[in-house]
Amino acid sequence: MKWNIDALREKQHEIARKVTLTNHLPEWNLLRTVGGADVSFNRFSKIGFAAIVVLSLPDLQVIETSSVEQRLELPYIPGYLAFREWPFIHQCLKNLSIRPQALICDGHGIAHPRRAGLASHVGVEEDIITIGCAKSVFVGEYMEPDSQRGSISNLILKEEKIGEVVRTKNNVKPLFISPGHKIDFHTATQLILSLCRRYRLPEPIREAHALVNRIRIEHICRVE
Partner DNA sequence: GCGACAG
Partner DNA sequence: ATCTTGTCGC
Where on the chain is the footprint of DNA (CB under 7 A)? Answer: 38-43, 76, 78-82, 106-108, 112, 117-118, 132, 134-138, 170-171, 213, 216
Burial track 93-106 (b if 16+ CB lie within 10 A, e otherwise): beeeeeebbbbbbb
Sheet with 47-56, edge to edge strand ranges: 62-71, 47-56, 33-41, 102-105, 130-134, 175-181, 160-166, 152-157
- The answer to whether 86 touches 122, Cβ cutoff 8 Å, is yes
- Residue with Cβ nearer DNA (98 or 172): 172
- The answer to whether 37 touches 210, Cβ cutoff 8 Å, is no
The nearest distance, CB 29 to DNA, in angstroms, is 31
The nearest distance, CB 119 to DNA, in angstroms, is 7
- Residue with Cβ nearer DNA (181 or 216): 216
The nearest distance, CB 200 to DNA, in angstroms, is 12
The nearest distance, CB 97 to DNA, in angstroms, is 25
The nearest distance, CB 74 to DNA, in angstroms, is 10
What is the DSSP pairing of strand 152-157 with strand 130-134?
unpaired
**Cα separation, 159 vs 41, whole angstroms:** 37
**Cα separation, 204 vs 219, whole angstroms:** 23
| Among the listed residues 61, 57, 64, the one whose alpha carbon sits nearest the alpha carbon of residue 92 | 64
- Residue with Cβ nearer DNA (57 or 175): 175
- Residue with Cβ nearer DNA (54 or 175): 175
**Cα separation, 193 vs 166, whole angstroms:** 8
- Residue with Cβ nearer DNA (118 or 192): 118
- Residue with Cβ nearer DNA (82 or 103): 82
| Among the listed residues 173, 40, 44, 167, the one whose alpha carbon sits nearest the alpha carbon of residue 106 | 40
The nearest distance, CB 56 to DNA, in angstroms, is 25
